[in-house]
Structure formats: C-alpha cells, structure tokens
Amino acid sequence: MRNFDLSPLYRASVGFDRMADLMDRALTADVSAPTYPPYNIEKTGENAYRISVAVAGFAPDDLTVEVKEGVVVVAGRKASEEEGRTYLHRGIATRAFERKFTLADHVRVEGASHVDGMLHIELLREVPEALKSRRIEISKAPKAVEKLDA
C-alpha cells in the first residue's frame, strides 16, 4: 500500500486538520476492520442522511448513540444472557460492538429510532447562512460629471 505524506497540507493551510486526519485515516484503513454489525448510509433528502445499523437481538436499552467531536459512536452491549438456555444453533450474533461514523462539518444528529431490528440515525446538514452562496448586486457607477468650459 502507498503512503502519502500530508505534512505539506499542514504547512500551507490553517484549519484543515480534521480533513487531513480524515484522509490519513482513510488511506491507512485496516483491511481487517470489523464488519459487525452491518450498516447502510443513505441520502434521504437534499441535506438529510440516515445511518441504519442492523442490531437484531438488541433492545433499545442495550444500545447507545453518542456524538463526540464530530463522530457518531454507536455501541451495543447485551445484558447478561438468561441462564438455562441451550442453543442447538446460535447464528444471531449479539456480541458487544462499537461503530464510529465521522460527520462532515455542519452535519448534526436529528434523532435515532429502533424499529424491526434496525437502528436508524437521522442526520441533517445545516449550512450556515454565511456559507451559502448568494448573489451580489452590482451597482452602476454614477455618471461622470462633465466639465463645462467657462
């Protein structure tokens, strides 16, 4: 795998540390990263997104969703199993997990819901008015005053 040196970015810019860190993490991503639990990220509107995590076997009380420094952290911890159960086959994984999703600037978590074994996290991008494009009216310069020969 190639290694990229992002130090020129740090030397020539101010305030892009988060973007450089994100690029660095993406370029050095571990191929053996956990795949449990599976999830979807979808765009549900012009500025709306949804993260859906398959959490079969987890009750809402077993799940936590936190936002820390622009990262959504989804964690699941199953309460202790009932004793006396004997499984002939156990294919539903209910092991503890933690998934992290990095949010872009101006994206905030609207809420979360647990429906039919899926945890849905609703996200909304709110671009501040100062960053939205706007049309600048061009004023016409006043006509030059002509000199009168006296």
Domain ranges of the chain: 1-33, 36-81+91-127
70 backbone φψ class: left, alpha, beta (φ>0; ψ -120 to 50):
left
What is the Cα–Cα distance from 1 to 78, expressed in whole angstroms? 37
CATH class, 36-81+91-127 region = mainly beta
Tell which residue, 104, 105, 112, 123, has the closest CA to residue 47. 123
Which backbone phi and psi does 51 adopt, to 5 degrees? -105, 125
Q: Are 39 and 81 in contact (CB under 8 A)?
A: no
Instruction: Give the other-Cβ count within 10 Å of 73's Cβ.
Output: 13
Q: Please, what is the average pLDDT of the chain? A: 82
Per-residue confidence (pLDDT) for residue 91, from 0 to 100: 83
What is the Cα–Cα distance from 114 to 122, expressed in whole angstroms? 12
Instruction: Give the other-Cβ count within 10 Å of 48's Cβ.
Output: 14
Per-residue confidence (pLDDT) for residue 145, from 0 to 100: 62
What is the Cα–Cα distance from 150 to 132, expressed in whole angstroms? 54
The CA R_g of the chain, rounded to the nearest whole Å, is 26
Is the overall model pTM greater than 0.85, yes or no?
Answer: no
Amino acid at 50: R
Low-confidence ranges of the chain (pLDDT < 50): none
Per-residue confidence (pLDDT) for residue 18, from 0 to 100: 66
Per-residue confidence (pLDDT) for residue 6, from 0 to 100: 63
